[in-house]
Amino acid sequence: MAVSGLVMLLYLVVHMIGNLEIYFGAGEFNAYAHWLRTVGEPFMHDEWTLWLVRVVLVAAVVAHAVSAYQLSRRDIRARPTPYVHRRRRASYATRTMRWGGIILGLFVVWHLLDLTTGTVHAGGFQPGHPYQNVVDTFSTWYGDVVYIVAMLALGLHVRHGFWSAAQTLGVGSGARDRALKTVADVLALLLTAGFIAVPVGVMTGVVSWR
Amino acid sequence: MKLTLRVWRQKNARADGAMATYEVDGVSPDMSFLEMLDVLNERLALDGEDPVAFDHDCREGICGACSLVINGDAHGPERTTTCQLHMRSFRDGDTIDVEPWRAAAFPVVKDLVVDRSALDRIIQAGGYVTAPTGSAPEAHATPVPKPVADQAFEHAECIGCGACVAACPNGAAMLFTSAKVNHLNVLPQGAPERETRVLDMVAQMDGEGFGGCTLTGECATACPKGIPLTSITRMNREWLRATRKASDR
């Protein structure tokens, strides 16, 4: 869980920074998107780097999901009889890891069908014109709602996930605990804010293709 | 004080259990929780009923025999053992739910008594130092720096009550196992078995059917001895180190 989670987290940070290019106009954003296909040339052939990243990401998602499933099965089996007197346990971020993770998984499917393949895209999907596609998606109310809810879930997931990964890998200590928690909070906040900045930009009209 | 108790009653390991309601009157706020149960049991015995079975021994917070999940909290609302929990922590007229530790690895024996021998088997897997027993060794023979001794003591405080397992939403025994592993692994006396200890104890813990850790922190919050959550982190570090070393061999 820790290693695959950190791989995805690293990708998300890069993804979020790249997304902010949308604030600098269609030209720059589309050029950035095009560059993603040509990274590493001439050493890497066209799209090789992109596909390498995709393969690593799919492996990370599968590993994360499989270990989450195994861990959950084990945890549920370990307490066959629940307590009669129930009380709310742990923080909200901690309690929502499982459902939050499932929501994020479903979101990724929608996100790919929407903006990579264009299968469920609102309006006419134009391959090679991501700027217009993004604006199209966030011009629909459900596009904004789905995205923003998912990004809030992402923030919560990262908040508990990053700190937990550090504990799993044995990096934490009493003295370092506060620093790790702060890094987790800052990462969660920056990722959520950075990603949500895109639909907010479209909604407020700062980002538009007219 | 007058209290309403809702207590888990279960005849034996195979029988179905259920919560039973009892009124307990004449409870002094200075009584411990176990003394309050004694009052109830005395009356049940006089009435010819079966007294409520619960584990207890030293009643001074050092043996780890007492258990009980009180209103959903392992060892009740205060950060101490049930025997050191006093009725002044409750209010007159309160309804209190009393349940056994709940975990697949802790089968109920009767009422509130559970079988915690799974923890003993984790200790047997590596919670010891292989050394000649016999007369006590000269105390100065193995110098231990003060910070190291402090660390060892912090983990050695674990009394093995199992509150961490009871409190964990996953029924995991990570805090118990980590306290036992770290207690010996930080000391020079534990060094020769540093790798096998952590590998064997974790393997035994997994084999006993405890859940997996999701770092909710409930264990460290419930622990009457204040074993810190970072104890688990340290064990993870030890485990990764031992795994690396084992693959080098």
Nearest chain A alpha carbon to B68: A83
B87 in Cβ contact with B28 (< 8 Å): yes
B129 in Cβ contact with B182 (< 8 Å): no
- Write a three-state SS string for A97-141: HHHHHHHHHHHHHHHHHHHCCCCCCCCCCCCCCHHHHHHHHCCCH
> In chain A, at which residue ranges do the beta strands (DSSP E only) sit?
none
Bigger pLDDT: B110 vs A207: B110
pLDDT of residue A210: 57
pLDDT digits (tens, 9 = 90+) for A71-130: 999 999 999 999 999 887 778 999 999 999 999 999 999 999 999 999 999 878 999 899
> Cβ contacts (< 8 Å) between A170 and chain B: which residues?
233-234, 236-241
Nearest neighbour of A75 by CB, restricted to B71, B211, B236: B211
Interchain pair A177, B234: CB under 8 A: no
| pLDDT more than 70, % of chain A | 99
Query: Where in chain B are all domains bearing CATH 3.10.20.30?
Result: 3-110
Sequence-distant (6+) residues with CB within 8 A of B246 are B195, B199
Q: Give the residue ranges of DSSP H helices in chain B.
A: 33-46, 117-124, 146-156, 163-167, 174-185, 194-207, 218-222, 230-248
Which residues on adjacent β-strands are paired with residue B162? none
> What whole-number distance in Å separates Cα of residue B73 and Cα of residue B155?
22
Q: How far separated are the first and last CA of chain A, in Å rounded?
A: 44
- Looking at residues A130-142, what average pLDDT do you find? 94
> What whole-number distance in Å separates Cα of residue A42 and Cα of residue A56?
21
Sign of the four-CA dihedral A38, A40, A46, A47: negative
Query: Where in chain B are all domains bearing CATH 1.10.1060.10?
Result: 117-248
pLDDT digits (tens, 9 = 90+) for B85-109: 999 999 999 999 999 999 999 999 9
Task: Please give the CATH number for the structural domain made up of A2-203.
Answer: 1.20.1300
Assigned superfamily of B3-110:
Beta-grasp domain (3.10.20.30)
Give the torsion through C-alpha atoms of A85, A89, A92, A93, to 10 deg: -140
> What whole-number distance in Å separates Cα of residue A113 and Cα of residue B224?
51
pLDDT for residue A143 is more than 80: yes
A152: pLDDT confidence band, cut at 50, 70 and 90? very high
Nearest neighbour of A75 by CB, restricted to B97, B212, B234: B212
> What whole-number distance in Å separates Cα of residue B247 and Cα of residue B249?
5
Contact with chain A for residue B69, Cβ under 8 A: yes
pLDDT for residue B40 is more than 80: yes
Distances (CA, A) of A59 to A3, A153, B159: 11, 22, 42
B140: pLDDT confidence band, cut at 50, 70 and 90? confident
User: What CATH number does domain B117-248 carry, 3.20.20.70, 1.10.1060.10, 3.30.990.10, 2.140.10.30?
Assistant: 1.10.1060.10
